[in-house]
Structure 1
Amino acid sequence: MDFSIAGILALDGLTNGAVYALLALATVLVFAVTRVIFIPQGEFVAFGALTLALFQTGKVPGTVWFLLALAALAATGDLVHGVRHRLPPRRVALQLLRTLAWPVLASLLAIWAAPRGLPLGVQALLTLALVTPFGSLIYRLAYESLADASVLVLLIVSVGVHFALVGLGLLFFGAEGYRNPSFWDSRFSAGALAITGQTIIIFIASFALIVSLWLFFERTLTGKALRATAVNRAGARLMGISSSGAGRLAFTMAALIGALSGLLIGPTTTIFYDSGFLIGLKGFVAAVVAGLASYPLALAGALGVGLLESFGSFWASSFKEVIVFSSILPILLWRSLRDPHSEEH
């Protein structure tokens, strides 16, 4: 291996690591606020990439029907809750409106826009509008009633949600893989390196989102409320911070990050309905490096995973996944020795 090959591999690793960093940050965010190890994070990546791909073909993406189905289930739960607790009809109607308004409007707009061949940027925004609400709806349907359960129970639920989303992804998108067009087709040369416009977009978008998350948590009242929930759920409740609202917001942000990651990675590889699992799992490895707690360590871990995957594929391409996922073992061993297990209260 010479320096030119090493440079190419490093660039490829950092590009993939930037996407893994977003998924790692989303995993840390969700776990910090809700104690949920959210295994299906990668499914948002696949849904984002495949939704944009179907827009490109002029078809109405299956995401529309899935979103409407989830919204209908959540609205039914709101109605049952209102009847059971004898809430005023006006309050129930407002809750139903809040639950259904965005999914219905986004779905109608997607149905109208799908056959019209709109510009790629507009289709990307429509994709984000469709996939982002999945986070809040999935939290409400699968996790909200179990908010005070143990981490193990929440992990088991995550496994079930993962298998359900993979199966529904096959139903709504089919088994065919798709590769999206690049958002920027230009190519630039820097010595032996050839940098594509899509690579630059990945770096810029990842950096901008990471900075935005930092500003959100450091400078906004809502972000500080989420941090308070992550530090002490009971104390946050006593201060008037809704743990349910914090969970819904955390899952919504995770869905937005996942969908954006799908848009970024879609032009670089072919995405299938089940591709999100491996992609999300690499983000999870990076989150484990951070102990599911530190955002800077999650970023560093993700870049390390990307570089390990890239150089591993050069030296032993058949075992690159094994190399990446085996790297979690010494990290787990080190953390188990550094932070002895204590009973959960």
Structure 2
Amino acid sequence: MDLSIASILALDGLTNGAVYALLALATVLVFAVTRVIFIPQGEFVAFGALTLALFQAGKVPGTVWFLLVLAGLAALADLVNGVRHHSSPRRIARQMLRTLAWPVIASAIAIWAAPRGLPLFAQALLTLALVTPFGSLIYRLAYESLADASVLVLLIVSVGVHFALVGLGLFFFGAEGFRNPSFWDARFSAGTVTLTGQALIIFLASIALIVLLYLFFERTLTGKALRATAVNRAGARLMGISSAGAGRLAFTMAALIGALSGLLIGPTTTIFYDSGFLIGLKGFVAAVFAGLSSYPLALAGALGVGLLESFSSFWASSFKEVIVFSSILPVLLWRSLSDPHREEH
């Protein structure tokens, strides 16, 4: 291996690592606020990329119907909960309207826009509008009633949600893979290294989102409320911070990050209905490097995972996944030896 090959591999690794960083940050965010190890994070990536691909083909994506079904179930849950707590009909209707408003409006726009061949950027925004609400709806239907359960129970639920979403992905998108067009076709050369416009967009979008997340958590009241919930759920609840609201917001942000990651990675690789699992799992590996608690360490771990994957594909392409996922073992061993063991009550 010479310097030119190493530079190309490093650029490829950093590009992938930037996407893994977003997924790692989303994983850390969800776990810190809700204690959920959210295995289906990668499914948001696949849903985002494949929804955009169907828009490109002039078809109404299946995510529209899935979103409407989930919103309908959540609205039904609002009705049952309101009746159980003897709420007024007006209050129940208002809550149901809040639940249904965004999904119905986004779905109606998607059905209207699908055959009209809107510009790529407009289709990307519509994709984000469709996939982002999945986070809150999935949390409400699958996790909210189990918010105080053990981490093991929540993990089992995550496994079930993952399999359900993979099966629905096959139903909605089929087994065929899709590769989306690049958002920017420019190329920049520096010696033997060529930086594509899409790779530059990935870097800039990742940096911008990381900065926005930092400002959100440091400068906004809502962000500080999420941090308080992550530090002490019971204490935050006593201070008037809704743990259910914090969980919904955390899952919504995770869905947005996952959908955006799908839009970014879609032009660089072919995405299938089940591709999100491996992509999300690499983000999870990076999050484990950070102990599922530190955002800066998650970022560093994601870049390390990307570089490890890239160089492994050169030295032992058949075993690159094994090498990447095996790298988690020494980290787990080190954390097991260095951190005190605590029983969960």
Is 1:120 equivalent to 2:120 in the alignment?
A: yes
Give the CA deviation at 1:279: 0.1
Query: Pairwise mapping of residues 10-49 of structure 1 onto structure 2 (< 5 A)?
Result: 10-49=10-49
- Structure 1, residues 23-49: CA drift from partner, whole Å, max 9, x if none? 000000000000000000000000000
AA of the residue aligned to 2:107: S
Q: Percent identity?
A: 89
Partner of 1:75: 75
- Partner SS, residue 164 of structure 2: helix
- Structure 1, residues 247-287: CA drift from partner, whole Å, max 9, x if none? 00000000000000000000000000000000000000000
What is the distance in 1 between the residues matched to 2:317 and 2:286? 21
- Structure 1, residues 304-325: CA drift from partner, whole Å, max 9, x if none? 0000000000000000000000
What is the distance in 1 between the residues matched to 2:342 and 2:87? 42
- Consecutive aligned runs of 4 or more in structure 1 exceeding 4 Å deviation: none
TM-score, length of structure 1 as denominator length: 1.00
Gaps of 5+ in 1: none
- Partner SS, residue 188 of structure 2: strand
What is the distance in 2 between the residues matched to 1:301 and 1:17? 9
Deviates more, 1:221-230 or 1:75-84: 75-84
Is 1:197 equivalent to 2:197 in the alignment?
A: yes
Partner of 2:296: 296
What is the distance in 1 between the residues matched to 2:234 and 2:189? 55
Partner of 1:211: 211
- Structure 1, residues 30-86: CA drift from partner, whole Å, max 9, x if none? 000000000000000000000000000000000000000000110111111111221
Partner of 2:153: 153
What is the distance in 2 between the residues matched to 1:190 and 1:223? 40
Give the CA deviation at 1:203: 0.2
What is the distance in 1 between the residues matched to 2:339 and 2:225? 27
Partner of 2:262: 262
AA of the residue aligned to 2:219: R
Partner of 1:64: 64
- Structure 1, residues 1-26: CA drift from partner, whole Å, max 9, x if none? 00000000000000000000000000
Partner of 2:315: 315
Give the CA deviation at 1:340: 2.5
What is the distance in 2 between the residues matched to 1:179 and 1:21? 22
AA of the residue aligned to 2:35: R
Partner of 1:139: 139
- Partner SS, residue 343 of structure 2: coil
What is the distance in 2 between the residues matched to 1:10 and 1:84? 58
What is the distance in 2 between the residues matched to 1:127 and 1:64? 10
Query: Pairwise mapping of residues 238-277 of structure 1 onto structure 2 (< 5 A)?
Result: 238-277=238-277
What is the distance in 1 between the residues matched to 2:85 and 2:139? 22
What is the distance in 1 between the residues matched to 2:151 and 2:181? 40
- Partner SS, residue 236 of structure 2: helix
Partner of 1:329: 329
- Structure 1, residues 178-221: CA drift from partner, whole Å, max 9, x if none? 00000000111011101100000000000000000000000000
Is 1:227 equivalent to 2:232 in the alignment?
A: no
- Partner SS, residue 268 of structure 1: coil
Gaps of 5+ in 2: none
Partner of 1:281: 281
Deviates more, 1:333-342 or 1:125-134: 333-342
What is the distance in 2 between the residues matched to 1:111 and 1:65? 10
- Structure 1, residues 98-121: CA drift from partner, whole Å, max 9, x if none? 100000000000000000000000
- Partner SS, residue 189 of structure 1: strand
- Structure 1, residues 230-256: CA drift from partner, whole Å, max 9, x if none? 000000000000000000000000000
What is the distance in 2 between the residues matched to 1:217 and 1:153? 28
What is the distance in 1 between the residues matched to 2:336 and 2:301? 18
Query: Pairwise mapping of residues 83-122 of structure 1 onto structure 2 (< 5 A)?
Result: 83-122=83-122
AA of the residue aligned to 2:311: F
What is the distance in 2 between the residues matched to 1:220 and 1:338? 34
AA of the residue aligned to 1:233: R
Query: Pairwise mapping of residues 171-190 of structure 1 onto structure 2 (< 5 A)?
Result: 171-190=171-190
What is the distance in 1 between the residues matched to 2:84 and 2:239? 28
Alignment length (residue pairs): 345
Q: What is the root-mean-square deviation in Å for CA atoms of aligned residues?
A: 0.4
What is the distance in 1 between the residues matched to 2:49 and 2:341? 39
What is the distance in 2 between the residues matched to 1:218 and 1:239? 19
Give the CA deviation at 1:90: 0.6
- Structure 1, residues 287-342: CA drift from partner, whole Å, max 9, x if none? 00000000000000000000000000000000000000000000000000011311
Partner of 2:236: 236
Is 1:305 equivalent to 2:305 in the alignment?
A: yes
What is the distance in 1 between the residues matched to 2:329 and 2:321? 14
What is the distance in 2 between the residues matched to 1:2 and 1:175? 39
What is the distance in 1 between the residues matched to 2:59 and 2:340? 53
